Chains A and B, each alone.
Chain A
Amino acid sequence: MGQVVEFLNVLNQEPWRFIIGAFAVLNLVLGSSAVLVMAERKVAGYFQLRFGPNRVGPRGLLQPLADVIKLLTKENTAPGRADMWIFLAAPIAMLLPVAVVWMVIPFAPETVVANINVAILFFVAITSVGALGVIMAGYGSRSNFSLLGALRGAAQMISYEVPLILSLLGVVMLTGSLSLVDVVNAQGGGFWNWYLLPQLPMFITFYIAGLAETKRVPFDLPEGESEIVGGYMIEYSGMTWALIQAAEFAGMALMSAMTTTLFLGGWQPPIAFLDLGQFNWIWFAIKTSVVIFTFQWIRWSIPRLRMDQLMDLGWKVLTPLTIVWLVVTAGAMLVF
C-alpha cells in the first residue's frame, strides 16, 4: 500500500503530472468530439421530429464508434494539383491549438494540468493559430471553392478575435489576474457572484464571437455548404476530414468551457451548500453541456448570414459594445 501511495506521489510531481495530464486532456478532446457528433445528431433529430441515430448499440450509443471505424477505413483522396504538405498539415494545424488550450482550463479545484498565471493570454494567443489551418486547407486544395471558403474563414476568425479579446478584458479587470484558476475562485459563493450579471453585454459578445470563432451557424460561412459546398474542407475525405471535424467540435467544446469558466463560475456550484469538493467537475460539465446545447439549438434553428452582414455585426455592433462596456466597468470599479 505504501508503495502505491509513493508511486502516486511521484506521478503527482512534474514532469509526470504534466505528461499524464496532457495525455488525459488529449483523450478528452478527441473523445468529446466523438460524443459531440453523436449529441449533435441526436439533438438535430429531436428538433426535426425524427429519431437520429438509434441502430448501433443501445439507443444508438455506439454510433460514434461506428463513425470512427467508417472514417478510418475510408480512402484519403487529394486533388491532383494539391500542395500535398500544406494539404495534409492543415487538419493538424487546426486541431492542435484547440487541444492545447484545454491544458489551462480548471475542471475542478486543483484539477488543472497547467496553472499558469497568463492562462487567458495563452488562450487568446493559441486559438488564433486556428485561422492559419483554415488558410492552409483552402490554399493547399487548389480549388476556387476552397479558396473562397478559406478567405471567408480567415476574415471571419480574425475579425471576431477583436470583440472576443475585448470581451475578456472586463473579466480580467474585475479579477485582477490573467489566471483562469483565479477567475474561477473569484466567482465563488453563489451564482450572484458569477461575472454573468455584471458583465452581461460582454458575455453576449463573447458567446456570439465564440459561435463565429468555431464557425457554427449562423456564422458557418467558411463552410457554406449550399453556396461554396464545404469551402476549405471540400477536398478532404476520410481521416483528414474527420480531423477537421474533430477540430470544429473540440473548438465548440472549448468555447463552451471558456464561457463557463469566465462568466458562469467555472466549477463553482450555483449555491454554496451544493459544493461537491473534488467532484465539482460535475458542475463544470453541466454548465458546459448547457452552453453546448445552446450552440446546437442555434445551429438547427436559423439560417446563415452573408459575409458583409457578418462583418457588420462584428465590427459595427460587437466591437463598439465591448469598448463601451469596458469604460462602464472601469468607471464602476473607480466609483465602488
Chain B
Amino acid sequence: MLGEERKLREGAPTLSGRVSARLANPDIRDEFGLEAMDMNMGPQHPAMHGLLRLILELDGETVVRCDPVMGYLHRCQEKIAENRMYPQIVPLTDRLDYLAGMMNEHGYCLAVEDLLDVEIPPRAEYLRVLVSELMRLASHIPSVGFLMLELGAFTPILYAFREREQIQSYFEAICGARMMFHYIRIGGVKADVPEGLLEEIYEYVDGLGARFQADLVELVVGNEIYISRTKGVGMMTPEQAVEIGVTGPPLRGTGVGFDSRRDYPYSVYPELDFDVITDDAGDVAASFRVRIKEVFESIKIIKQVIEKMPEGAVLGDTGRRLRPKEGDGFGRVESPRGEFAVHVVSDGSDSPYRVHYRDPSFANMMLLQEVIPGHYLPDIMPIMGMIDPVSGGWDK
C-alpha cells in the first residue's frame, strides 16, 4: 500500500551536503581556528514545547548537530497503567496529548475492545467520530497559529484560539471538561449529547470554514514572509519519513498518503466520505498545507456524522467488572499529530499486564536529528511547528 505512493524526490539535499562546509573542512577549520559553539536550547526556552532540550552545535547560526534530550516531564504513563483496572486507565490517556485527548481515549478503548466481546451501539460510534473530528479541528487550527507565533507573529494565535475556545465549550457541554475529558468509555461513550447541541455544532462548523479561510489561511498562507520562512525548510524524502516512522501531516506532506482512518478503518469512518490530503513538497509549508486542508475535511466529516447520526443507546454492556480474556489487543487511531496506537497485553486479571503507547509526538520527534543539521538556528522553529509535538506524548 505504501509502496506505490512512496517515491523518491529527485535532488533532495542529503544530510552531509547540508551541514556546515566550513567546519567539515579540516583545512579551513584549522587555518582560521574555527570551532563550533555549543548552545543549550531549552528546557526553559519559550519556543521549546513543554520540556524539550536541544543540545545544539552551531557554526555561526548554522546548526551542525542537534541532540534532542527528552524525559524531563517524567510521567511513567505505561507503568501506572499496569497498576490500574482497565476503565481507570481511560482518563490517563488524555494526559498524553492534551490537544487531542479524546483521540487517545478512543485508541485505548479500541485496544481493550479488541480483547472483549462487546457490541458498541452505532450512536456511540458516531459520537466518537464526532468528538474525534472536533478534536482535530481544535488541534489543527491552533497549530497554524502556533507556527506563526514561533515565527514572530502573535496575532494569528489569538484568532485561532477563539475557534478552539468555542470548540472546547462544546466539549464542556458534552462531557463536562474542557481539557481532561474522559468521555469515550470501553464499550461506547459516557452519555448522550445534550439536546440541541448537534444542531448548534452543525451551524458552527458550517460557518467555520469561511472564517478560518478569512482570518487565518489568508493571513498566513498568502504572507510572503511566511512562505519564505517555510518553503524548503525541513525537507525530507518520503523514504526518510517512512524510515524514521513519521506519521500524520509531516508524512502526508512528503506525498505518502497514509492515514489510519482510511488504511486501517475503525469506527464508522468507512461509511463517511472524506479525502486523504497529500502534498509533494516535503517541507514545512507542505505539512501546513496538509493541515489546513484537513481542517476542511474534518468539517465535511462532522457535517456527515451529524446528518447520519442514528438514535439509540450510547454505551454497550461490558459487565460490572471488566476482565478480558488472556491475549493482546491493538487499537490505532489517526490523531492530529499522526498515528496513535495502543497495544494492551492481558493476563486475564482486571488490570493489564502491559500497555504500550505508540505516540505520534515521540515518533515524529525522531526527525529532529535528521532534518535540523544544516539549517539556520531560526529554522528550528518552523521544523518544530511541522512536528507539532505535545510533551505529554513524547515523555509518556
Instruction: Mark A residues whose CB is within 8 Å of B.
Output: 44, 47-50, 144-145, 148, 152, 217-218, 220-221, 224-229, 300-309
Contacts and interface: CB of A to CB of B under 8 A. Distances in A.
A303 B61 contact: no
Nearest to A221: B378
B381 interface: yes
A49 B47 CA distance: 24
A298 to B, nearest CB: 10
Contact of B153 (A227, A229, A303): A303
Interface in B300-336: none
Given A227-B377, A228-B377, A148 B155 contact: no
Contacts of A47: 155
B371 to A, nearest CB: 16
B225 A144 contact: no
B14 interface: no
Nearest to B153: A303
B380 interface: yes
A301 B155 contact: yes
Contacts of B61: 148, 152, 307
A303 B148 CA distance: 6
Given A145-B39, A226-B47, A303 B155 contact: no
B22 interface: no
Contacts of A301: 153, 155, 219
By CB atoms of chain A within 10 A, which of B38, B39, B61, B150 has the most?
B61
A303 B378 contact: no
Contact of B158 (A50, A228, A309): A50
B223 interface: yes
Contacts of B380: 227
A226 B39 contact: no
Given A301-B155, A305-B228, A306-B229, A144 B37 contact: yes
Interface in B50-65: 61
A301 to B, nearest CB: 6
Given A217-B153, A303-B148, A148 B376 contact: no
A176 B80 CA distance: 80
B154 interface: yes
29 contacts: A44-B155, A48-B155, A48-B158, A49-B162, A50-B158, A144-B39, A145-B39, A148-B377, A152-B61, A224-B152, A225-B46, A226-B150, A226-B151, A227-B378, A227-B380, A227-B381, A228-B377, A300-B154, A301-B153, A301-B219, A302-B226, A303-B151, A303-B152, A304-B152, A304-B153, A306-B228, A306-B229, A308-B376, A309-B229
B376 A306 contact: yes
Interface string B210-242: 000000000100010110110000000000000
Contacts of B149: 226
B162 A226 contact: no
List the 6 shortest-distance A-B pairs measured between CB atoms, nearest first. A303-B151, A304-B152, A303-B153, A226-B47, A48-B158, A303-B152
B158 A304 contact: no
B158 A218 contact: no
Nearest to B148: A303
B223 A303 contact: yes
Contacts of B159: 48-49
Interface string B108-130: 00000000000000000000000
B45 interface: yes
Contact of B225 (A44, A145, A228, A305): A305
Nearest to A305: B225
Given A229-B45, A303-B148, A308-B376, A49 B228 contact: no
Nearest to B220: A303
Contact of B155 (A145, A224, A225, A300): A300
B378 A307 contact: yes
Contacts of B388: none
Contacts of A229: 45-46
Contacts of A224: 152, 378
Interface residues of B, number: 30
A48 B154 contact: yes
Contacts of B381: 226-227
A47 B153 CA distance: 12
Nearest to A144: B39
A303 B219 CA distance: 11
Contacts of B153: 217, 300-304
Contacts of A48: 154-155, 158-159
Given A301-B219, A302-B153, A304-B152, 12 more contacts: A44-B155, A144-B37, A144-B39, A217-B153, A225-B152, A226-B381, A227-B378, A229-B45, A302-B223, A306-B228, A307-B378, A308-B376
A278 B274 CA distance: 69
Contacts of A144: 37-39
B294 interface: no
A303 B225 contact: yes
Contact of A307 (B154, B158, B376): B376
A228 to B, nearest CB: 7
Contact of B378 (A44, A145, A306): A306
A224 B377 CA distance: 11
B385 to A, nearest CB: 10
A220 B152 contact: yes
B379 interface: yes
Contacts of A220: 152
Contacts of A303: 148, 151-153, 223, 225-226, 229
By CB atoms of chain B within 10 A, which of A44, A227, A309 has the most?
A227
A304 B47 contact: no
A220 B153 CA distance: 11
Contacts of B223: 302-303
A304 B147 CA distance: 12
Nearest to A218: B225
Contacts of A145: 39
A285 B209 CA distance: 43
Contacts of A148: 61, 377
Interface in B1-40: 37-39
A217 B152 contact: yes
